Amino acid sequence: MATYRFTAEELEDFYQVLDSVVCEVADRGIPLTVYEMIARLFTAAEHGVAHPLRLREAILRGAADVVEDLLPGRRYGDGADAKPVRLEMRAA
């Protein structure tokens, strides 16, 4: 995970998404560590996911699912900004 690839504005957006998801995860009792949430967020961002709702989804569902949704023919995007790779996420 390399934060130097992102602008200060993007990192601020990531923080806002992460902050809200951390609260939601705690409120709902979801067994997900902050470390895993950060890893999922940056994995999705490194593969072209930029919209806050998609980043939130990547944290909660897993980055692999969200990136696959961005491939051509999927309902969440036209795939223009996604790399066609299969990501493997391991549970913490």
pLDDT at 63: 61
pLDDT, one tens digit per residue, over 18-52 is: 999 999 999 988 888 999 999 999 999 998 899 99
Question: Residues of 50-59 as b/e, b for ≥16 C-beta within 10 angstroms?
Answer: eeeebbbbbb
Range in 3-12, 28-37, 59-68, 81-90 with the lowest mean pLDDT: 81-90
pLDDT at 86: 42
User: Minimal CA–CA distance to 1: which of 14, 20, 13, 19?
Assistant: 14
Q: Inform me whether the pLDDT recorded for 61 exceeds 90.
A: no
